[in-house]
């Protein structure tokens, strides 16, 4: 009689102890997941309109610090920037905080397939410009989704996630209460 009382309990325990395997475990492989965080450089110094490579102004320096705070919880593996003062300065606080060297890229000669291979299964920050950032995002997506960013817009964050070769994106805009 005692055995009959314990038997249903054992059956329930047995059923709940059987773990269902995830599809990736059944096939024996884990999914390839790469996440890219694309931002435009922070506010640049516009006091000299003839300067082709200005640094950031005070508000831009504040925004660069703000980006480092926003990305604080992201386990970044790599940081890329174009080789301009304003993009390098935007990437610098995150680079220092994460102890990751900035790698420079030229969007005009970028090998997209190689870039994806080099960053497979990584979390990557990419700092660019009002025209190159949405173009790069569109290339990653394989379709024209985003247009050029307005010249006065410095708070856009594009997040591109590629899972087993399929890319999706999100666009977020962060306001910055940075000093002028």
Instruction: Please give the biggest Cα pair distance in the chain.
Output: 94
What residues contact 23, with CB distance under 8 A and at least 6 apart?
none
pLDDT of residue 176: 79
Domain 31-173 is of which CATH architecture? Answer: 3-Layer(aba) Sandwich (3.40)
Model pLDDT for residues 78-110, shown as the tens digit of each residue: 999 999 999 999 999 999 999 999 999 999 999
Q: Report the pLDDT averaged over residues 5-22.
A: 40
Under 8 Å between Cβ of 34 and 116: yes
Q: Which pLDDT does position 109 carry in this prediction?
A: 96
Read off the pLDDT of each residue in 149-163 and give the average, rounded to a whole number. 96
Inform me whether the pLDDT recorded for 11 exceeds 80: no
Helix (H) or strand (E) holding 94: helix 85-98
Q: Which residues contact 131 (CB under 8 A, 6 or more apart)?
A: 148, 149
Q: Residue 4: pLDDT band by 50, 70, 90 thresholds?
A: very low
Confidence at residue 30, expressed as pLDDT on a 0 to 100 scale: 87
| Residue spans per domain, the chain | 31-173
Q: Answer yes or no: is pLDDT of 14 > 70.
A: no
Contact 68, 100 (CB under 8 A): no
pLDDT higher than threshold 60 for residue 46: yes
pLDDT for position 5: 45
């Amino acid at each position: 009689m005692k055995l009959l009382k314990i038997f249903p309990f054992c059956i329930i325990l047995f059923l709940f102890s059987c773990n269902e395997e995830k599809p990736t475990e059944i096939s024996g492989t884990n999914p390839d997941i790469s996440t890219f965080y694309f931002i435009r450089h922070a506010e640049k110094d516009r006091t000299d309109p003839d300067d082709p490579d200005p640094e950031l102004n005070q508000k831009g320096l504040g925004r660069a610090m703000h980006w480092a705070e926003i990305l604080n919880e992201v386990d970044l593996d790599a940081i890329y920037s174009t080789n301009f003062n304003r993009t390098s300065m935007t990437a610098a606080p995150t680079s220092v905080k994460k102890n990751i060297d900035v790698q420079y890229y030229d969007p005009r000669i970028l090998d997209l397939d190689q870039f994806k291979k080099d960053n497979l299964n990584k979390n990557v920050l990419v700092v660019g410009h009002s025209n190159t950032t949405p173009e790069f995002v569109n290339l990653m997506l394989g379709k024209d989704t985003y247009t050029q960013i307005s010249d006065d817009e410095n708070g856009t964050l594009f997040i591109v996630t590629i899972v087993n070769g399929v890319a999706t994106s999100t666009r977020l805009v962060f306001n910055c209460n940075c000093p002028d």
